[in-house]
Structures are given as C-alpha cells and as structure tokens.
Structure 1
Amino acid sequence: MKLVVFGANSPTGRLVTVMAMAMGHTVTAITRRPADFPLYDHRVQTAAADPMDADAVDWVVRGHDAVISVIGAPPSTQRVTVCSQAAYNIVKAMINHGVRRLLCAGSPGLDAADLSRAAQLRQRAIRPVVLACGRAVQQDVRRMESIIRETGLDWTLFRPGRLVCRSEVTDYRITTHPGRRPPTSRTDLAHALVQAVSHRDHLRETLHVATGRRVP
C-alpha cells in the first residue's frame, strides 16, 4: 500500500516509517524539513508540508491508499490547535481524493481526563505544573478525535499510555477500554498503527495499546 505519514520525523513517526517499509508498504514521509529526515530508502519519499496548510495537505494526500498521523504538540499553558487543525485538513483532503483509511495516535495521558473527580484532584495535588502544561494539548487532541469521529472515513484512533522507549516489539495488548493505563512503548505503538493499516478490525473504534513483555 502507499501510505502517507504525518509527523514522520517524530520519534514515533520514524518507527512507523521503518515498520511500514518492513511490511512491504511504500511511504511518503511528511515533515517540515525533509533534509533532516534520517531515513533513506527507495520505498520512502519525503515531502515538505505544514499540516496547518490545507492546500499542502491536499497535495500530499492525493494518490495514497491510507494515512497515518502521529502529529503531536509540546506541552503548553497556551491554547493549542495544531492537532485539531491538522486533523481537519487531513480529513478534508482524504474526502476530496477518496482515501478512506485513517490511523491516528493521540497524546499520552489523555485518559486521565476520564478519571473520577477524586482521582483527578489527587493527580493535581501530586503534579500540578505538569498537568497544567499538558491540559491544552489534551484539549486539542480531544477536538482532533471529535473531528475524526464525525467523518464517514474508516478511521481508528489510538490512545497510548505514558510513552516509553523499547528497542523491540513486545507482546503488547490492544483493548477498547483504558483500564489501568499502563505505559506504551513507541515501538509497540508504531507497530500497532502499521498493522492496522490493512486490517478491517476496529473500524471507527478508539484503541489503547498496553506494552507487555519483550518477545524472545
């Protein structure tokens, strides 16, 4: 399949690109600075596109079979719009060009907003500064999810837990409920995203990836 990956030069995006190639896909890696993209292979082409630019997004989506987005934003106490605006532009371009399959990863800790009021108060008491900086991003990711859910596309949303680094794919679990929110390795998240590209399971569902034990 011909995949376009938004956020390709992020740590998770680079893993997605490598795994997509390993599974036989060709990739158009979207980054604002293609010259800085570290992967060189005949199955990968880079394209400069700002996800906030609707015309640029429309141009790069055309001619592909599926879209993977791992666009993120740094913590901020100011209003954040990059995730939701990018989602709007991506969805619009996909509809324009008849591309149906969309895989999108949200930000870690998003499920904390679903905790009980008492649990949220306990977290704020422990990590008030961290939570305050991450709240604007979480709000924007929720707007992103709402935009995607309202489409008729074949979407699947992924909500990772706290992101950790692992060199290998584990026997990770995918569930439709957050549960205890265990950590998620970037490697497992990338693998789950690419695996889901050509599968018809979990269409229009929100999935949670829980990293497991290292597979021997």
Structure 2
Amino acid sequence: MKLTVFGATGGIGQEIVRQALEAGHEVTAVVRDPARLPVTGERLEVFRADLGDPAAVRPAVAGRDAVLSGLGARRRADAGVATRLTRTVLDAMEAEGVRRLLVVSAAPVGPEPEGAGLLDRAVRGAVSAVLKDVYTDLRAMEAELARSATDWTAVRPPQLQDKPLTGRYRTVIGGFPPKGRFAGRADVAHAMLAMTEDAGTVKQGVGVAY
C-alpha cells in the first residue's frame, strides 16, 4: 500500500513508519524537521511541510491508499493542536479525493468499558480532570472527523508505554477493553496498520489496550 504518516517523529508515528516499511509498504512521512526522524528505508519518502497550510500537504496525500496520523498534544500546553492540524489533513485529503484516515485519540474520549469497577472509573475520572484541555481538543478533533467525507477511524489507547512490539492486545470497536489500563506505542501503531484495510472500523472509535 501507499501510506502517508503525519506526526511521523512522535512515538507512535515513528513506529507506524518503521512497521509499515518492514511490511513492504511505500511510506511518505510528513515532518517539520527531517533530522528528528531516525527511521530510514528505500520505500520511505520524507516530506517536509508546514501543517498550517493544506495546500502545502496536498502532494503528500495525493494518490495514497491511506493516511495515518499520530498528531496531537505532547503536553497540556499544546492542547488545541490535534484539532487544528487534523483539520489541515482533512482539507488536503478531501481536495485530493483520498478517503481512508486513521488517527490517534485517547481512551477517555470514548465510552467507559462495560463492567468498569470503582477503581477504573476513579482512575479515568482523575486522568480526565488533569488532562481536561487535551481531551477537549481530542473530542473536537473527532467531531471534525465525523463531519468530514473521509472513511475515518479514531484509535483510542489508554496510558501509553514505550515497550517492544508484542502484537498481543485487545481492540473493541465502539468501546474499550475492560480493565485495559496500558498500551505500548508500538502495539498501537501495529493496531492502526492492521485496521487500515478493516472496513468494520470505518467511521468508528476503536479502543486498544492490553
């Protein structure tokens, strides 16, 4: 497949690029600073662009089979970037007629897991309170997706970890895995690549966790 990856220098973005190349895909990684992307490969194109301008990123998405995005706030002070930058991606995709889009959101944006206990609800509530602005941003981002003409999927992991790819995780379309408190960035990337051709995840939020 021909894939474009936004947020390619982030933890999940780098894993998407690396795993996609290993799987034999052609990858265009959209970055502001190419020096921050340590991944290399014959099938990799590094595309430098200002994400404030949809016209500037249209060449990066033109003719692609799917677009995957790890864009989002890396700290509370960055709240708002997910919606703003995703809107740029959506505008570019719609201008080029590219439909498939997968983005990283977060577990608290979706529904509570079925059968969630007091501890799980308490932890979820505490995290949501601390990161209120970040999750408000992600909810707004998902609203932009829902209004778009794209075949989108919002992947919603819980607390992220830096650990090797396991390929062993749970996914719930339209919900969240019970007692799923952690997910490795490499496994979230793996899940996103697996969902790229999964029609059942189109226009859905998907919870991913161990």
**TM-score normalised to structure 2 length:** 0.86
Aligned residue runs from structure 1 range 69-88, under 5 A? 69-76=69-76, 80-88=79-87
Cross-structure match for 1:6: 6
Report how far residue 145 of structure 1 moved.
0.5
Moved more, 164-173 or 81-90: 164-173
Match of 2:102 in 1: 103
User: What is the number of equivalent residue pairs in this alignment?
Assistant: 206
List per-residue Cα deviations over 1:124-160 (Å, max 9, x = no partner): 99x6xx7655221111111000000122321111000
Question: Which among 156, 162, 170 is matched to residue 153 of structure 2?
Answer: 156
Aligned equivalents of 2:143 and 2:43: distance in 1?
Answer: 33
Partner of residue 192, structure 1: 191
RMSD of equivalent CA atoms: 2.8
% identical equivalent positions: 31
Letter in 2 for 1:66: A
**Residue aligning to 1:175:** 172
- CA change 1:79–1:185 in 2 (3 A) is closer
> Is 2:29 the partner of 1:32?
no
Cα 1:17–1:124 shift into 2, 3 Å: closer
What's the secondary structure of 1:201's corresponding residue? helix
2-side partners of 1:156 and 1:62: how far apart? 19
How has the CA–CA distance of structure 1 residues 135 and 120 changed in structure 2, closer, same or farther, with 3 Å as cutoff? farther
Aligned pairs for 1:120-139 (under 5 A) are 134-139=131-136
Looking at structure 2, the residues matched to 167 and 68 of structure 1 have their Cα atoms a distance apart, in angstroms, of 20
**SS state at 1:163 partner:** strand
| Structure number with larger C-alpha Rg | 1
Which structure 2 segments of 5+ residues have no match? none
Q: TM-score, normalised by structure 1?
A: 0.83
Instruction: Find runs of 4+ consecutive structure 1 residues off by over 3 angstroms.
Output: 107-114, 118-125, 130-133
> Which residue number in structure 1 is paired with residue 15 of structure 2?
15
In structure 2, distance between residues paired with 1:121 and 1:186? 23
